[in-house]
């Protein structure tokens, strides 16, 4: 092969779960760093998400795990890859649409502009860099300061083939939750009625609708900016959504006033205070029972389980702070309606 190119093992995924697969491989240190598959080796006319991986045995295990979730499109191929020099980012950052958001930590204090300009030069597709100061306020949103590039108020974020409108600094969004959105959405069984109690911009709700198994999704959030963004996103994705989504803008504790106890699955993604709303969730459970996904911040699995009465399992979702993590705690609850 030409200089700078080599053969490598790649996983090819369906477009529905390319982002989830990429994050899974990255989180489990299975991506082959410093390599990029050449486009002409795509196995179809459409360029599918293709990731160079390390370890043949691990690759087979990952393929088997994702095969059903990706609707039958997950293959292992041998392809041509080009090597590239590894660029080390100067600071921790996330990319939301065409915006990079940098954590303003002590390590970059005094050189924020320099760091932002380097990100603009090296991160493909971004047009602006903002710094994240704190997560604050009633709606737990990030306070952002402009560091470099264009001044952007609203960006478009893509996840699992869906498009989301994101008003920067007014809603909470975390691309690292992409894989978790898919894990939970893919569990929904045909005919379920789902309540996304703290829906934000709709990461769980829209994906559940797009997968088309649920009978109804109710998406609620107290933040009017998040609700407005979610309604915009529903319009943008109307051709891909299959299950009706009812959107509410309420304090979650008031939901039993307008909703009946019919839900078979309830998602409670508000890690710092979700447990305060457990009684509300139980009141909205179907008389046949329901599954409740409660997100909490804990140091270990045992602590996460202890925070949620009736828990049956706790799954670590992502890192939150030094020695603190966000866990999803699952509960199989009996419905009690208004009792």
For residue 292, what pLDDT is reported? 98
**Could you tell me which residues come within 8 angstroms of residue 190 by beta carbon, excluding any fewer than 6 positions away?**
213
Residue 74 phi, psi dihedral angles, 5° rounding: -145, 115
pLDDT for 207 equals: 97
Closest CA relative to residue 339, chosen from 253, 220, 256, 250:
256
Please list the residue range(s) of the chain that carry CATH number 3.30.70.2580: 5-83
Within 8 A by CB and 6+ apart from 30, the residues are 24, 53, 54, 55, 58, 59, 62
Q: Would you state the pLDDT for residue 41?
A: 47
Which pLDDT score, from 0 to 100, does residue 329 have? 98
Cβ atoms of 206 and 165 closer than 8 Å: no
Distance, in Å, from the CA atom of 306 to the CA atom of 329, rounded to the nearest integer, reads 10
Res 30: pLDDT: 77
Cα–Cα dist 29/17, whole Å:
18
Q: Give the fold, CATH level 3, of 176-333.
A: Rossmann fold (3.40.50)
Residues of the chain with CATH 3.40.50.150: 176-333
CA gap 234, 32 in Å, rounded: 36
Residues in the chain: 339
* Angle between helix 203-211 and helix 178-185 axes, rounded to 10 deg: 40
**pLDDT of res. 52:** 83
Residues 296, 292: Cα–Cα separation, whole Å: 13
Q: What is the pLDDT of residue 339?
A: 47
State the Cα–Cα distance between residues 220 and 246, nearest whole angstrom.
Answer: 8
CATH 3.30.300.110 domain locations along the chain: 93-152
- So what's the pLDDT on residue 105? 83
> Which residue numbers in the chain have pLDDT < 50?
41-45, 339
CATH number of 5-83: 3.30.70.2580
Which pLDDT score is estimated for 44?
Answer: 47
Which residues, in sequence order, are CB contacts of 322 under 8 Å at separation 6+? none
The answer to whether domain 93-152 has CATH 3.30.300.110 is yes
What token pair was written down for 288? 């046949």
Give the per-residue pLDDT at 7.
79
Give pTM, 2 decimals: 0.77
């Amino acid at each position: 092969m030409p200089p700078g190119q080599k053969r490598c093992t790649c996983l090819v995924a369906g477009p529905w779960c390319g982002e989830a697969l990429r994050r899974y491989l990255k989180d489990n240190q299975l991506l082959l760093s410093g390599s990029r598959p050449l486009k002409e080796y795509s196995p179809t006319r459409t360029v599918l998400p293709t990731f160079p991986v390390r370890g043949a045995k691990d690759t087979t295990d990952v393929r088997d795990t994702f095969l059903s979730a990706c609707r039958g499109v997950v293959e292992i191929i041998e392809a041509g890859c080009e090597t590239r020099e590894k660029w080390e980012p100067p600071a921790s950052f996330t990319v939301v649409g065409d915006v990079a958001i940098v954590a303003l930590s002590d390590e970059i204090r005094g050189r924020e502009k320099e760091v932002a300009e380097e990100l603009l030069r090296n991160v493909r597709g971004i047009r602006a860099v903002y710094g994240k100061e704190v997560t604050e306020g009633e709606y737990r949103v990030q306070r952002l300061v402009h560091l470099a590039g264009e001044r952007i108020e609203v960006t478009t974020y893509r996840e699992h083939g869906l498009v989301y409108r994101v008003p920067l600094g007014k809603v909470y969004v975390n691309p690292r939750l992409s894989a978790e959105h898919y894990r939970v959405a893919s569990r929904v069984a045909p005919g379920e009625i789902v309540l996304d109690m703290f829906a934000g911009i709709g990461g769980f709700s829209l994906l559940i609708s797009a997968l088309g198994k649920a009978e109804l999704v109710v998406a609620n959030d107290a933040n009017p900016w998040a609700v407005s963004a979610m309604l915009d996103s529903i319009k943008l994705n109307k051709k891909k959504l299959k299950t009706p989504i009812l959107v509410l803008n309420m304090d979650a504790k008031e939901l039993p006033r307008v909703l009946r106890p019919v839900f078979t699955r309830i998602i409670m993604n508000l890690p710092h205070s979700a447990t305060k709303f457990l009684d509300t969730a139980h009141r909205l459970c179907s008389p046949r029972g329901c599954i409740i996904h409660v997100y909490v911040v804990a140091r270990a699995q045992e602590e996460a389980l202890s925070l949620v009465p009736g828990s049956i399992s706790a799954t670590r979702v992502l890192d939150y702070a030094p020695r603190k993590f966000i866990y999803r705690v699952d509960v199989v609850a009996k419905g009690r309606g208004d009792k």
